Amino acid sequence: MSCFRAPLVLAPAFAIGAVLAACGAATPVPTPTPTPLPTALLQQRYSAAAAAYDTGEVPIATAESEFCDPAAATADLGRCASALSGDRQATVVFDDAIRGLRFPSEARGAANQLLDDDARLEMLLQQAATAPSLTAVTSLTPQIFDVLSTTARDADALRALLGLPSTTALPKPTVIPAAARPERGQPAIATVGARRT
């Protein structure tokens, strides 16, 4: 008996669909652009994503400094790779949060620029995390620092458009050779400051 019901149920649906198709527009209807979030909510959500990123970066940066310097007593390719992978993942999570925000038209370009430069950073961090040696990681470090500086400027440009204060200024990162460090455990890479908040 159920075999006879299916066609009866489908027949009216098919007929309605055929009528709608015949009466519908000849061209597809464009999807409306999502309405940007109110400024206060956008500021709050951007700030939350940035704060989560910066908080997560503290232990990652410490691990990178401790394990990625080939001359350090604590040098360890596996732990360095893990820290670099964590850095990349933190960037991906931040970028996903940014992609989920609806920016006003005047801020979309800055948001896209930040995401584009972060994609370059993610690629470099992936290369460093899969590098065959700490020397190979060290060879990528200047490029990573350059892109980090670029993303910090991108974040400042976006924050300005959102009515948020600038990020904490980043000092120029420098590698401190192991022989020049007065005590064991001093970071191999001297970097301080937030990138997003």
**HEC states along the chain?**
CHHHHHHHHHHHHHHHHHHHHHHCCCCCCCCCCCCCCCHHHHHHHHHHHHHHHHHHHHHHHHHHHHHCCCCCCCCCHHHHHHHHHHHHHHHHHHHHHHHCCCCCHHHHHHHHHHHHHHHHHHHHHHHHHCCCCHHHHHHHHHHHHHHHHHHHHHHHHHHHHCCCCCCCCCCCCEECCHHHCCCCCCCCEECCCCCCC
Q: Looking at residue 195, what is its pLDDT?
A: 58
Q: How many domains does the chain have?
A: 1
- In tens, the pLDDT along 76-109 reads 999 999 999 999 999 999 999 999 999 999 999 9
- This prediction has a pTM of 0.72
In a domain, 11, yes or no: no
In-domain check, residue 175: yes
Does the residue 2 lie in any domain? no
Q: Residue 173 pLDDT more than 80?
A: no
pLDDT, tens digit (0-9, with 9 covering 90-100), for 10-56:
334 434 344 334 444 444 544 444 788 899 999 999 999 999 999 99
State which residues form the domain around 86. 39-190
- The answer to whether residue 33 is domain-embedded is no
